Chain A
Amino acid sequence: MKLTLRVWRQKNADAPGTMSTYEVDGISQDMSFLEMLDTLNEELILAGDDPVAFDHDCREGICGACSLVINGDAHGPERTTTCQLHMRSFEDGDTIDIEPWRASAFPVVKDLVVDRSAFDRIIQAGGYISAPTGTAPEAHAAPVPKPDADFAFEHAECIGCGACVAACPNGSAMLFTSAKINHLNVLPQGAPERETRVLDMVGQMDSEGFGGCTLTGECATACPKGIPLPSISAMNKEWLRATRKVRR
């Protein structure tokens, strides 16, 4: 395959960026999207140019590092991570636009790499449980009803990639935050911090400068792990409950 790539190039956080056009040839349909970019970068390095910076780590769809907006879609046209997107989703001769996640809470570091430490700070605000360390507890010590376990697991699937923020017209982190809160709040292990968790994580989310939810549903459409839109409603319910409880 021969492709035309229009890639966002930006030297550093303060420099202005622009879309630059590149031609790549000899791309196989079986390559992943990132392998296609590796090919481009090899050519750029050979030509003595600066390679395109992009985030990646596991390349297995589990770490949440890869983060590209491809033709206006976070993670591209398939519902998967950028690393698990393959070139068979494109046609020979296509022009592909590649941009970084856009949100003021995710500033661009270089080219396609953005700083997502705002997510880490949301997790630090309450995305943990208090548990004694040491030997692993007996697995059956805290029984969890099957529907609750399923609900927790569905939300535990979130890999913190930030596609939800990138897709949202308001740069909102509600889907991510709701996934993390719902995951822990439904489990007995998460019960001691149930109220403070939701209040603190939502508070941190607000102070990081993420936008609010207007229920456009773009986040859930983009999420590679299928975190559903009603998760946000479940978080709202927890938040409203906590505002009543904590004051008592």
Chain B
Amino acid sequence: MTRTLWDSSLGKKTVMAVSGLIMLLYLVVHMIGNLKIFFGSGEFNHYAHWLRTMGEPFLHYEWALWIVRVVLVAAVVLHAVSAYQLSRRDIRARPAKYVHRKPRASYATRTMRWGGIILGLFIVWHILDLTTGTVHPGGFQSGHPYQNVIDTFSTWYGNTIYIVAMLALGLHVQHGFWSAAQTLGAGSATRDRVLKTIANALAAVLTLGFICVPVAVMTGVVS
């Protein structure tokens, strides 16, 4: 079964769709969590602390968080590897271009690969910035995420990287959600409109929900 999946282009696409949807679900939760920043440092830092005590007393301190991290890393790796392998296959299948060229597919569709690369780089930067603090500007304080977020969004490059990545995310999700539905066999002529509407709504809500945080810091609404 595992071999059938991984060796087939349809199976690999299924892996890509499922891992993409896992990341998407996480991002919705993450975006909602981020909005707590509008209720002050007390509430935001308390929420961040709860992420570590989540599942207690059944689970030990930080266990739940680590489970989520492991699942997410697996999803990112599987998604990126299958995206790479399938893209290689697609490019090999169509080596000669037409002399008479026409760009046709939508912008979101055409930018899935570059958008994915941007997201991959963003994920690395984001973790080094706000989780480990390795590249954090102005003294990373573990346990004080509110201050750390403000530090990051007080730099021009922090804002630029973040906003560009979130726009790329919106495009990726707009095509990706609909695409995943087709891959998993949920597409049909009658359901297409609904699926596209959900994809557009998810893309818009995620992008706006994430971007409003740096905008709030830049404009001084959150400080």
Contacts and interface: CB of A to CB of B under 8 A. Distances in A.
B100 A169 contact: no
Contacts of B104: 216, 218, 221
Dominant secondary structure of chain A at its interface with chain B: mixed
Interface stretch (A46-54, A155-163, A184-192, A230-238): A230-238
Contacts of B186: 233, 237
Contacts of B79: none
Contacts of A213: 13, 182-183
A247 interface: yes
Contacts of B97: 102
A208 to B, nearest CB: 9
Interface in B100-157: 100-102, 104-105, 109, 112
Contacts, number: 129
B98 interface: yes
Nearest to B7: A206
B188 A233 contact: yes
A71 interface: yes
A19 B100 CA distance: 11
B101 A72 contact: yes
Interface string A51-74: 000000000000000000101110
Interface stretch (B41-49, B54-62, B86-94): B86-94
Interface of B: 1, 4-5, 8-14, 86, 89-102, 104-105, 109, 112, 175, 178-179, 181-189, 191-192
Interface of A: 6, 8, 19, 69, 71-73, 97, 99, 102-105, 168-172, 199, 202-203, 205-206, 209-218, 221, 228-230, 232-234, 236-240, 243-244, 247
